[in-house]
């Protein structure tokens, strides 16, 4: 019998990198999926979803924008599980929100409240980012020895390799993750379980027709793309290493968190946490056809141990390590003509 057995689930941000791969896997497993997108008329955002196996009978698309958070209600109705994957990356000016953080927080509140009102949703799973789990001490003087789910990124620090975009992103991801987890503490009559998966940098294949947003960063050592390499340096400055996860594992982890009979709380999701230097060595060993220039061989100091054991202790098994994640990213970029 199929695992999903026609169970209804909602995925916000369904047309993006993570969202589309997650939908592909959910449809393969027999789930019925309500996916939200900002614009149903945009062919580039819908065609890869509509052509997925089982999409015709088990995929329903809904239009919803975080800047109009009440839009999500219709997609959530009748679902047992909701994956909140979407995140506002660029701010919509002239909206009722000051910045992406305000919009993201209003979004998680509206989605969690809709889940409560629905009377059908058992669990809300939020796609968080490892950028909210920095082990840098509050005063910026160094790292805690271990980075784990008890760490929260301090939003008061300044960084050598940050820019306004990265600062806005970590603020929005950190504050919205805190807000969504608060629903585990407020009295909901035990009606809603909230899980956040703080995902590492995602690499690997895609069903998109273009290179997904995180791959230029994963591949920046090979391409010499300075802007994206600075993002990698920023991650190492913030986290002490680059927590890395394969697209297939990250989506399996989302489904694992859904299929557990009972689950709440925060989980780091990364198979490995190499430094930039270790990524460079791995690329050199497996892709000697590329020459990595010296300045792309290493990053800022300050490694702290990245403890990703909590999800493993729940029973989750990663299939792909750093080598496969980097290999599949190279293959994907070549297939799409970007490398
Ligand atoms: N990729 C990574 O390395 C990584 C690592 C950790 C966490 N994450 C998290 O994973 C999630 C998905 O990221 P991704 O890598 O798949 O990026 P992506 O391909 O850019 O997808 C982002 C999604 O968010 C949606 N979105 C953006 N602004 C929105 C708005 N105002 N209202 C509604 N939806 C909006 C987009 O919808 P449209 O298609 O309609 O534009 C898109 O589907 C994000 O929450 C991100 O923080 C990603």
All residues at 6 or more sequence positions from 284 whose CB lies less than 8 Å from its CB, including other chains: 290, 292
Positions marked active-site: 173
In terms of Cα–Cα distance, which of 200, 270, 197, 199 is closest to 232? Answer: 200
Query: Does 23 sit in the ligand 1 pocket, CB within 6 Å?
Result: no
What does the DSSP 8-state code read for residue 143?
Answer: B
**Ligand 1 site, residue 216, Cβ cutoff 6 A:** no
Q: Is 40 in the pocket of ligand 1 (CB under 6 A)?
A: no
Closest ligand 1 atom number to CA of residue 84? 45
Q: Which of 87, 235, 268 to mutate to test the pocket of ligand 1 (most atoms within 8 A of CB)?
A: 87
88 lines ligand 1 (CB under 6 A): yes
Which atom of ligand 1 is nearest the CA belonging to 208?
19
- For residue 1, the 8-state DSSP code is -
For position 302, what pLDDT does the model report?
Answer: 65
Nearest CA to ligand 1 atom 20: 16
Q: Whose C-alpha lies nearest to ligand 1, atom 21? A: 16
Q: What is the pLDDT of residues 207-229, one digit of tens each?
A: 999 999 999 999 999 999 999 99
Q: Tell whether ligand 1 has an atom less than 6 A from the beta carbon of residue 16.
A: yes
Is the pLDDT at 2 greater than 90, yes or no? no
Calculate mean pLDDT across residues 57-62.
98
Give me the count of residues in the chain: 339
Q: Quick one: what percent of the chain has pLDDT higher than 70?
A: 98
Assign 1 a pLDDT band (cuts: 50, 70, 90).
Answer: very low
Distance CA 186, CA 182 (A): 6
Cα(15) to ligand 1 centroid in Å equals 9
Q: Is the C-beta atom of 45 inside 6 A of ligand 1?
A: yes
How does pLDDT run across 160-190, given as a tens digit for each residue?
999 999 999 999 999 999 999 999 998 766 6
Output the CA–CA distances (angstroms, integers) from residue 77 to 72, 114, 286, in the order listed.
9, 8, 48
What domains are defined for the chain? 8-201+245-270+305-319 (3.40.50.720)
- Condensed to tens digits (0 to 9), the pLDDT of residues 124-165 reads 999 999 999 998 888 888 888 899 999 999 998 889 999 999
Mean pLDDT of 268-274: 97
């Amino acid at each position: 019998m199929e695992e999903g057995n026609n169970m209804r689930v909602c995925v916000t941000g369904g047309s993006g990198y993570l969202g589309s791969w997650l939908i592909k896997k959910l449809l393969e497993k027999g789930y019925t999926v309500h996916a939200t997108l900002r614009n149903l008329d945009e062919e580039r955002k819908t065609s890869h979803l509509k052509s997925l196996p089982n999409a015709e009978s088990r995929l329903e698309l809904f239009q919803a924008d975080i800047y109009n958070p009440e839009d999500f209600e219709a997609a959530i109705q009748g679902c047992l599980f909701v994956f909140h994957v979407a995140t506002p990356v660029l701010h919509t000016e002239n909206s009722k929100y000051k910045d992406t953080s305000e919009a993201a927080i209003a979004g998680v509140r509206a989605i969690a409240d809709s889940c409560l009102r629905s009377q059908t949703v058992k669990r809300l799973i939020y796609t968080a980012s490892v950028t909210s789990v920095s082990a840098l001490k509050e005063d910026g003087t160094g790292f805690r020895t271990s980075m784990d789910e008890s760490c929260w990124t301090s939003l008061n620090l300044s960084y050598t390799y940050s820019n306004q975009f990265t600062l806005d992103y970590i603020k929005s991801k950190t504050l919205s993750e805190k807000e969504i987890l608060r629903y585990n503490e407020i009295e909901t009559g035990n009606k809603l379980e909230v899980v956040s998966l703080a995902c590492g940098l995602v690499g690997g294949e895609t069903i998109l027709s273009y290179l997904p947003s995180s791959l230029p960063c994963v591949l920046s050592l090979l391409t010499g793309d300075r802007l994206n390499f600075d993002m990698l340096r920023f991650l190492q400055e913030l986290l002490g290493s680059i927590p890395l996860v394969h697209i297939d594992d990250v989506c399996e982890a989302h489904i694992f968190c859904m299929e557990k009979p009972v689950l709440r709380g925060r989980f780091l999701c990364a198979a490995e946490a190499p430094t930039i230097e270790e990524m460079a060595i791995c690329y050199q060993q497996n892709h000697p056809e590329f020459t990595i220039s010296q300045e792309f061989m290493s990053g800022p100091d300050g490694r702290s141990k990245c403890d990703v054991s909590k999800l493993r202790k729940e029973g989750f098994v990663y299939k792909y390590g750093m080598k496969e994640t980097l290999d599949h990213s190279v293959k994907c970029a070549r297939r799409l003509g970007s490398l």
